[in-house]
Chains A and B, each alone.
Chain A
Amino acid sequence: MIQPINEQQVRPINIHQMKRFNVRRLILIFLFVLLTITSLLIGVLDVNFIDLISLDKDAWSILWISRIPRTVSIILAASSLSIAGLIMQAISRNKFISPSTAGTTNAAILGVLLSYLLFGQINPIFRSIFSFVFAMFGTFIFMLILRKIKFKNIIYVPLIGLMYGAMISSISSLIAHQFNALQFLNTIGITGFSNKASGTYELLYFVIPAMIMAILYATRFSIIGMGEDFSKNLGINYSYVMMVGLIIISAISALTFVMIGTLPFVGLIVPNLVSYYYGDHVKKSIIDLMLFGSSFVLLNDILSRLIIYPYEISITFTMGVTGAIIFLILIFRRIHHGKA
C-alpha cells in the first residue's frame, strides 16, 4: 500500500534550494500581480492609470462595479478549485483525479436541476446548497467505490470516474426530459466570468472559509492519502478527516459551479504542475498552488477577452484548449521519462 516517499522529501534541503524556491515564489507573485492589474485594466470602456490616479469618478466606478468583481471572482474560483483538486488527489493518492473526473461536477448539475424543478427560479443560495449536497453525495459514492477496488493501473480511475459522471448525467437528462427542462439543463454551467458585477458575485466569498479549512487540514490530507492503517498509526481519525476533505471539495465545486460554471482542467492540471515543481508536500505548496491557479485562469480570461475584442469568447473554450495542450505535454513528458 505504501508508496515510496517522494525523493524531494528525503533529500535534505540545502540553502541553495531554499533560495531557488523563494525566487520561484517571487516570480509567481510578480506574475500574479501583473496579471491582476492587466485583468483590471482590460475592457471595452477605457480605464487607465492616469484616470485612476487623477481620481476620475467614472473610471473608479467602472473599476468597482465591473472590473474588481470579475477579477476577484476569477481569483477565488481558480484558487479554490485548484485546492479542491489538490485535496482530491492527496486523499485518493491519484494524480489524475479531479472534481470533473470523479462525478462531482455532474452530481452538482443534478442538484441544480432538482432545485430548479422543485422550487423554480430560486436565489443562488438555495441552488448552491442543493448542488453542494448532491456533489458531496456523488463524490462520496465514488470514493466508496474506489476504496472497495484495487486497480492494476491508476489511470483507469479517471476513466471510471468519467463513466460514472456520464451515468449521473444520464439521470439528469432523464429527469429533465420528463419535466421539459432540457433547455434549462443545457444552460447550467455556462455562466462564465463575463456577467460578474457587484451584486452577482458575492456568494463566491463563501469559498474562503473552505480554503482556510483546507490550509489547516493540509498535512492531515496528505497523511490519510497513505492509507487507513498508516494514518491510524500516526494518530489521525481517518474517516473524520476524509469527511472534512469531502465537504471542502464539494462546497468548493458546488459554489464555483453555481456561480461560475465549469472551468475545465483547473482542478487537474494546476495541482499536477505545482507538485511537479514543488513536490508533494501539500502544506508547503498550497500558497504557490493558489497563486499559480489564479494566474493561469487570469491569463486565460485575458486571452478570451482579447481574441475577438471587443467581444469575448467563453473561458470554458479557452481553458479547454490551453489546459488540454498543457496536460498533453505533461503526459508526454511522463511517457518520455518512463514513469507510468
Chain B
Amino acid sequence: MAKHRRMIIIFTILVFISISLYLFFWMVTTPYQLFPKDPQLKVVMQKAITNIIGRKFDQVIGMTIAAILIASSSLVFQTITENRILTPSLIGFDAVFVTVQTLIVFLFTSSSIFYTNPYLNFVLASGLMIMISLSMYRIILKKNKNHLVFLLLVGMILSTLSRSLASFLQNIMDPMEFQSIVIRTEVTVSNMNTSIIYMSIPFLLIISFLFIKNFKTYDVMTLGESQAIGLGVEYQKKMNYALIYMAIAMSITTALIGPISFLGLITVNASRELLKTHKHLPLFILSSLIAMLMLILGQTIIIETGYMTTVSVWISLVGGIYMIYLLLKENQA
C-alpha cells in the first residue's frame, strides 16, 4: 500500500510539472518580448498572455477529461474481456462518430441548429452513438452469453461499414457541407473541440463515480466469470452496465480529442507493471495519471519542436511496440 501511495505521489508531481510546462514553457522560447517597457504595449501583451494561458488551460482540462475516461474505460474493458491487450477503441467509435456527424449534416444541412449549436450537436451525437452501441450489445450479448469477442468482431466490421457509408454520403454531398464535416470530425489533441470541454465535466464526474462505485465488483470479476458468479456477482448485469459506461466515455473522448487507440493499452499495462496489483482503484488512479502525463507532456514536446508530428501518431507507435513486447512476454512460459 505504501508503495502504491509513493508511486501515485510521484506521478502526481510529474503531472503537475508537465501541466506547468505546458502552460508556461512557451514564455521561455517565444521570440517576443513579453514584458515590454512601453505601457501601451504592456497592456496588449498582458491581454495576449492571459488569452494564451486561458486557452492552454482549457486544453489541459480537455486532455485531463480524455485521459481519465480513456484510462478508466480501458481498465474495466480489460477486466471484462479477461485480456490485457484490448481497448474499447477497437469497437470503432471514431468511425461511428464521423458517420453520425455526416448523417446530421446530410439530413439537416450544416446550417441547422443540430450542427451549429455545439451542445445540441454533442448531445445528439453522443445519444446516437450510445444508442448504436447499446443495440449492438443487446443483439449480441442477450442472445448468447459472454460473446464479447463477437462483439469486438462486429464492432470492427461495423466501423468499416459506417466509414464506407460516411464516405459515400460525403462523396455525394455539397463540397461546402463536406468541408464543415471535415472541420468537425478531424479533431486531434492539438485541434481540440474546445466548445464541449466544460459541458463534458458533469459527464466525467458521473461516469467516474459509477466506475469507482463498482471497483470492488470489478476486483471480483478479475477472477473470471464462474468464480465471480460463485461469489455472488451478477456478472451479466454488471458487464452490461460496464459496457454502457464505456460507450458514454468513448463517445465523449472521440468528440473531444479524436481517436487515440493505444493510449489505454499503454497506460493500464504500465500501471499494472508498476504497481503489481489487480485492485482497480490504485490502477485507475495511476493509469489516469500516466495518461495525463503522456498527453500533456507529449503535446508540450510537440509544440516546442514545431509540430513535427502529432501526439496520437507517437502514442500508436510506442503503443504498438509495447503491445508486441507484452504479447511476447506474456506467452513465453
Contacts and interface: CB of A to CB of B under 8 A. Distances in A.
A323 B165 CA distance: 12
Interface stretch (B22-30, B57-65, B82-90): B82-90
Interface in B149-164: 149-150, 152-154, 156-158, 160-161, 163-164
A321 interface: yes
B160 A264 contact: yes
Contacts of A163: 85, 90, 261-262, 265, 320, 323
B47 interface: no
Given A145-B328, A167-B320, A171-B317, A160 B85 contact: yes
Interface in B182-225: none
Contacts of A321: 161, 164-165, 168
Contacts of B83: 152, 156
A122 interface: no
B316 A156 contact: no
Q: Interface residue tally of chain A, by bracket?
A: 35 or more
Nearest to B323: A163
Interface string A122-152: 0000000000000000000000010011101
A148 B331 contact: yes
B161 A320 contact: yes
Given A317-B164, A317-B167, A328 B154 contact: yes
B149 A156 contact: yes
A331 B87 CA distance: 21
B138 to A, nearest CB: 13
Interface in A161-185: 162-164, 166-171, 173-174, 177-178
Interface stretch (A11-19, A195-203, A308-316): A308-316
B144 A174 contact: no
A289 B18 CA distance: 57
A67 B175 CA distance: 30
Interface in A263-284: 264-265
A153 interface: yes
A110 to B, nearest CB: 12
A168 B163 CA distance: 20
A159 B86 CA distance: 8
Q: Interface residue tally of chain B, by bracket?
A: 35 or more
B167 to A, nearest CB: 5
Interface string B83-119: 1011000100000000000000000000000000000
A335 interface: yes
Given A174-B309, A313-B171, A331 B160 contact: no
Contacts of A319: 164
B323 A328 contact: no
B327 interface: yes
A23 interface: no
Contact of A155 (B144, B153, B327): B153
Counting chain A CB atoms within 10 Å of each CB, which of B143, B154, B308 scores highest? B154
Given A159-B152, A164-B320, A319-B164, 10 more contacts: A155-B150, A156-B149, A167-B321, A171-B317, A177-B310, A264-B160, A320-B163, A320-B165, A331-B150, A335-B144
24 contacts: A150-B331, A153-B149, A158-B153, A159-B153, A159-B156, A160-B323, A163-B90, A163-B323, A166-B316, A167-B323, A170-B314, A173-B309, A174-B314, A313-B172, A314-B171, A316-B164, A317-B171, A319-B164, A321-B165, A324-B160, A327-B157, A328-B158, A335-B147, A340-B149
Interface of A: 96, 145, 148-150, 152-153, 155-156, 158-160, 162-164, 166-171, 173-174, 177-178, 264-265, 308, 313-314, 316-321, 323-325, 327-328, 331, 335-336, 338, 340
Closest 6 CB pairs of A and B: A167-B320, A320-B164, A324-B161, A149-B331, A170-B316, A155-B149
